[in-house]
Amino acid sequence: MSEAPLLEVDDVTVRFPAPGGGLLGLSRREVKAVNGVSLTVRRGETIGIVGESGSGKSTLGRAILGLDPVTSGHVTFDGARVSDGRRDVLAGLRRRTAMVFQDPANSLNPRLTVAETLTEVLRVHAKVARGAEAARVAELMRLVGLDPALGSRRPRDLSGGQCQRVGIARALAVEPDLVIADECIAALDVSIQGQIINLFLDMKERIGLTLIFIAHDLAVVRRLCDRVAVMYLGRIVEEGPTEAVFAARRHPYTAALIAAIPEIDPDLRLPDAPMGGEPPSPLSLPPGCAFHPRCAYAQETCRTGEPPTLRRQDDHGWACILPPGTLSSPAASTLGRQPQELSA
Ligand SMILES: Nc1ncnc2c1ncn2[C@@H]1O[C@H](COP(=O)(O)OP(=O)(O)OP(=O)(O)O)[C@@H](O)[C@H]1O
Ligand code: SF4
Ligand SMILES: [Mg+2]
């Protein structure tokens, strides 16, 4: 019998009032940040979420943790419906989850030493008895590869990589069942990025960490994540086991992201503008498949009606009318355009 998933995201939509939304809000324009996302995360699994800037990755992560309100749909964490906004349920969720942010230095309190930062979390979450805090702080620091002697330092006396390790130690201090890391290595040097990735791999091995890893860096996602979900304008357009998605992408957007990168390894990154054309605004999504204005495979049926739903075959989902196998050949992976057009 398979274990129940730790997290289930069911048809979640997040809308925000548009900036400057009109007199008394009468125009009611909305930013459609997340549009009907469904996702399952099992215990011990690492799932990467990738997509261009503005595709809704952070909003999805924040909505999962109850930091952004869910407009419709449900988030269920360990069997409890957490998206209904009930305070006691949300408090339970916060005790069992943690977020690691992009900017390591600014996400720490500059006035507190490393030891004070970690002790504060242990106290708020009542994780250890008063006398045992110092030992637990040292243990957490060792766990993330920091010398406990750095416990008396403040963020300004630490490198970016060390600050991020403190950020991860702070997240792990709550002994979370789920960590969401949002672009948490983007601001670090490449060598430090590698160390943080090794740290996550180690955590996965040693404590069975369940991780949602939001990233622009496809090489890291490939190295770290069991599964990958590709987002485009608030929707998951492809999702599946990482190697299956890399080996046989089924959505033209995923294919373009991969094809727009000159070297697949070792420094495979998701450029900010991986293909020609800007993504349409989340204020007014195109009808039909939202990717159709940029898709070389678009057909008449793609331009009208509802967006294609996520189909599944072999545990690999894709939201496109194309049959699996269409994009597997190297020529097809450039969407029929020249690679330089795609990366322009
Ligand atoms: N609180 C908010 N109010 C209004 N609009 C918002 C809010 N938060 C996010 N948005 C909008 O929602 C859309 C998705 O934003 P989000 O930050 O989730 O994207 P992202 O994929 O994380 O992008 P990036 O890679 O740049 O971090 C964007 O159009 C953004 O401007
Ligand atoms: S549904 Fe049509 S427009 Fe959308 S990605 Fe597939 S082929 Fe392209
Ligand atoms: Mg973001």
Q: What is the mean pLDDT of each run of 10 residues along the chain (344 residues)?
A: 86 90 64 96 97 94 94 96 90 91 86 96 88 94 93 94 92 92 86 87 89 90 95 97 94 86 54 64 91 93 94 96 82 41 32
Cα–Cα distance list, 96 to 12, 23, 65, 292, 326 (Å): 21, 41, 10, 40, 42
The mean predicted confidence, pLDDT, of the chain is 87
Residue 308 CB–ligand 2 contact under 6 Å: yes
- Tell whether 342 is covered by a domain: yes
- pLDDT of 335: 41
Does 283 map to a domain?
Answer: yes
Ligand 2 and 321: CB distance under 6 A: yes
What was the pLDDT predicted at 23? 55
Q: How many domains does the chain have?
A: 1
Is residue 272 included in any domain, yes or no?
Answer: yes
**In a domain? residue 321:** yes
User: Is 54 exposed, middle or buried, given 0-12, 13-18 or 19+ CB atoms closer than 10 A?
Assistant: middle
Q: Work out which ligand 1 atom sits closest to the CA atom of 283.
A: 29
Residue nearest to atom 1 of ligand 2 (CA): 320
Q: Report pLDDT for 333.
A: 43
297 found inside a domain: yes
Q: Given this model, what pLDDT does residue 258 score?
A: 83
Name the pTM for this structure.
Answer: 0.89
**C-alpha 344 – ligand 2 centre gap (Å):** 21
Residue 73 falls within a domain, yes or no? Answer: no
Pair of tokens at residue 200: 């996550």
Q: Residue 196's pLDDT is what?
A: 87
Domain range for 272: 248-344
Q: Are strands 178-182 and 211-214 parallel, antiparallel or unpaired?
A: parallel
Residue 40 within any structural domain of the chain: no
